[in-house]
Chain A
Amino acid sequence: GAVVSQHPSRVICKSGTSVKIECRSLDFQATTMFWYRQFPKKSLMLMATSNEGSKATYEQGVEKDKFLINHASLTLSTLTVTSAHPEDSSFYICSASGRANEQFFGPGTRLTVL
């Protein structure tokens, strides 16, 4: 089956620093990847759509300068949370669009900003 990995699985950082989260499709090429955010006991909210070789498309209300997305290859998308603050603490999940446009999810990254 299609496997998507995320790294790191959890990260703790100080307020004001930047954090990079990687999302990789391990056994298939994904022209489109998606980034979601999930608060505790809440649903997943789509943050942005990442297309290989082009700029990401952000959902309304998502700060594109805060959440930088790069999709440099068909197997890797990165999300950088810039100048992180405690309110950015959350669970970030990526998914990659594979065959038949089915989306395969990564295991998520828990970000804690102190």
Chain B
Amino acid sequence: AQTVTQSQPEMSVQEAETVTLSCTYDTSESDYYLFWYKQPPSRQMILVIRQEAYKQQNATENRFSVNFQKAAKSFSLKISDSQLGDAAMYFCAYRSASRGGADGLTFGKGTHLIIQP
């Protein structure tokens, strides 16, 4: 079974600064997807960024980028120029690609991100 570990229950960053959220995972599969989701107080899950394991290039989405280290099974999220609206719970998630991606997600425990004005 796959596991996802987020070792930072809470992180705090000054507005406009950069913060990195950590995520490690354990799997015996070679093909999979990794995701970062944001869950604001409304509890609606919002996809921040995704990474296909077969791609060596790190995914980026505007101010959000990942550092994907497949051998180390590490998948950290970097948020640049932090904004007040970035405050939320952030979940790292894994999904197998063995069945064409038709599997559910395995989530980490989450990191509560606080943005200091």
Q: Which residues of B contact A34 (CB under 8 A)?
A: 104-105
Which size bracket describes the interface of A in this complex? 20 to 34
Q: How far is the CB of B21 from chain A (nearest CB, A)?
A: 14
Q: Tell me the total A-B contact number using a CB cutoff of 8 A.
A: 49
Q: Is the interface of A mostly helix, strand, loop or mixed?
A: strand
Task: Please determine whether B101 and A43 come into contact, CB atoms closer than 8 angstroms.
Answer: no
Report B's interface with A, CB cutoff 8 A.
33, 42-45, 47, 50, 91, 95, 100-110
Q: A26 at the A/B interface (Cβ < 8 Å)? A: no
B44's partner among A42, A44, A105 (CB-CB below 8 A) is A105
Q: Are B109 and A43 interface neighbours, CB within 8 A?
A: yes
A97 and B105 contact, CB distance less than 8 A: no
CA gap between A43 and B45 in the complex, in Å: 11
**A107 CB within 8 Å of chain B:** yes
- CB atoms of B110 and A102 under 8 A apart: no
Among B42, B43, B45, the most chain A Cβ lie within 10 Å of the Cβ of: B45
Asked if B102 contacts A107 (CB within 8 A), the reply is: no
Q: Determine the residue in chain A with the shortest Cβ distance to B4.
A: A43
Given A101-B100, A102-B50: A44 and B105 interface contact (C-beta under 8 Å): yes
B42 to A107, Cβ gap below 8 A? Answer: yes
CB of A95 to closest CB in B, whole Å: 8
Cβ A101 vs Cβ B43 within 8 A: no
B interface, by DSSP: helix, strand, loop or mixed?
A: loop
Complex Cα distance, B91 from A44, in Å, reads 9
Known contacts A43-B91, A43-B110, A101-B100; A108/B44 CB under 8 A? yes
Question: Among B33, B47, B105, B106, which residue has the most Cβ atoms of chain A within 10 A?
Answer: B105
The answer to whether A103 and B105 touch across the interface, beta carbons within 8 angstroms, is: yes
A-B pairs with the 9 shortest C-beta distances? A101-B101, A105-B45, A46-B104, A34-B104, A43-B107, A44-B107, A43-B109, A108-B43, A107-B44
Within 8 A of B (CB), among A82-114: 91, 93, 95, 97, 100-103, 105, 107-108
Residue A32 at the chain B interface, CB threshold 8 Å: yes
A75 at the interface (CB under 8 A from B): no
Across the interface, name the chain A residue whose C-beta is closest to B35: A103
Which B residue's beta carbon lies closest to that of A107? B44
